Structure 1
């Protein structure tokens, strides 16, 4: 049975969770008076590389620099002549002063900066576009049976550029291939606008070039 759980016991934070039985599939955290930055996109600059943490720190315009783990660095930021032998060394992958487009994965907590990723996700009405993550994608695990089969057929007909990934959200159930392609077209234009904005200005951006907020979707 699907339920909505609301926790408003703390004045500084409101939590809304959607559960199906014992499984959490949607979580939204609101902090009144505090601007939510999760999923916002920024152009940042690498300020420090910490091999012991397998991570880099990124100045993206906030007071605290963001934390970018090695596993969240897309291959496009690796040197063109990089040859991987086993697990990459972050010092061989990034350099201080390098500019990257990042997305807030987790909000700042206490004295810790935000957790960042370079694997961008652009959420639409029916789809989530991952423009630099071709390995990701598919159909939400909450979609089953005939709905899943129909969406697989619709997905196969979509015009998705090489090197990109795509997830169909539950809202995409029952939508035609034309409707899905329409939503995809808007996400592609959004990504193009982000890239153009990033090319036009040096990092860090004080405000995100592609600002968006959406609920955390757990496929």
Structure 2
């Protein structure tokens, strides 16, 4: 099986990342200039208004619209000292107008609604998510095999990590050595320490941390060791990618390669044609059938048609083969 990650960043107005398996587009992510993801960004913000009826606060973190901070998203470390061990106080006892706090975006602005914020910070890495000022130490629920969970918990416990630096090990951490996990943890701690240093140097509202660009996010979240190569068509993004691999997983750095052909990278691997097909509501199946996808207000309807399929012996066999091919496409 051939598996590649293609990073198309040669056009400043649009970045695209595709994962291709045996020539077939498996994953596609697109980021437009001016519409970069803000979810995950961390800011030094100032409280503008405390709403006791909502048990929430509106916070200025530098965007056009004020962010929304619910009381359930306020870290106990912000509570007044007298209340830290006596349960959660009311929001008016925690926050006041003009108070400066660290916030992170958990849901981006939508329509007339401002971004949803939290003060429970988290920093995603390659193998784990760091949660500063937290005692949570665990393994992702996506790792369902108990044996793997036990091994990861045992490995992490042997690292003697700080008590107030929580973490959740991601699926990418399965089978990794202690040194690799520790390297990722140390990288995230340095990142957090840099955020705290910048916090002391600026006045709210100010951005302290920006979530990685599309290329680095895709590598962090989707790169797997069964990939043959990571091809990049832009010199700066190529160098950033090499640096990220050197920092987080140097043993795989040789897989990062620069696409130097004159033919655009997505055209070279027939990705443009497959992207065009994504906008059509009808998809042809290998044996002559098709599926038709129609979104409605309540649901997305998928109609499976056997079409000219007649090679199977009997209607049930034809239906089974059609449904298997349709399931693969969906």
**TM-score bracket for this pair, using the shorter chain length:** 0.7 to 0.9
Higher radius of gyration, 1 or 2: 2
Equivalent residues in 2 for 1:162-201 (5 A)? 162-201=163-202
Aligned partners of 2:129 and 2:197: how far apart in 1?
20
The CA deviation string for residues 13-55 of structure 1, in whole angstroms up to 9 with x for no partner, is: xxxxxxxxxxxxxxx9866452210001111011110011111
Determine if contact 2:59/2:67 at 8 Å carries over to the other structure. yes
Q: Deviations over 1:26-85 (max 9, x none)?
A: xx9866452210001111011110011111111000000100000111112112233665
Query: How well do the aligned residues superpose, as a CA RMSD in angstroms?
Result: 2.0
Alignment deviations for residues 61-118 of structure 1 (CA, whole Å, 9 cap, x no partner): 0000100000111112112233665542000111111111111000101100000000
Question: Greater helix share, 1 or 2?
Answer: 2
Change (3 A) 1:99 1:128: same
Q: Distance in 2 between matches of 1:70 and 1:141?
A: 26
1:155 aligns with 2:156: yes
Uncovered stretches (5+) of structure 1, i.e. residues with no partner: 1-27
Query: Is the counterpart of residue 138 in structure 1 residue 150 in structure 2?
Result: no
Give SS of 2:120's match: coil
SS at match of 2:208: coil
Aligned to 2:37: 36
Contact 2:106 / 2:117 at 8 angstroms: preserved in 1? yes
Aligned 8 A contact 2:49 2:97 in 1: yes
Map 1:48-87 → 2, pairs under 5 A: 48-82=49-83, 85=86, 87=88
**TM-score, L = length of structure 1:** 0.79
The count of aligned residue pairs is 186
Contact 1:74/1:133 (8 A) holds in 2? no
Matches within 5 A, 1:78-157: 78-82=79-83, 85=86, 87-134=88-135, 136-143=136-143, 144-157=145-158
Alignment TM-score, normalising by the size of structure 2: 0.53
Q: Which residue of 2 aligns with 1:17?
A: none
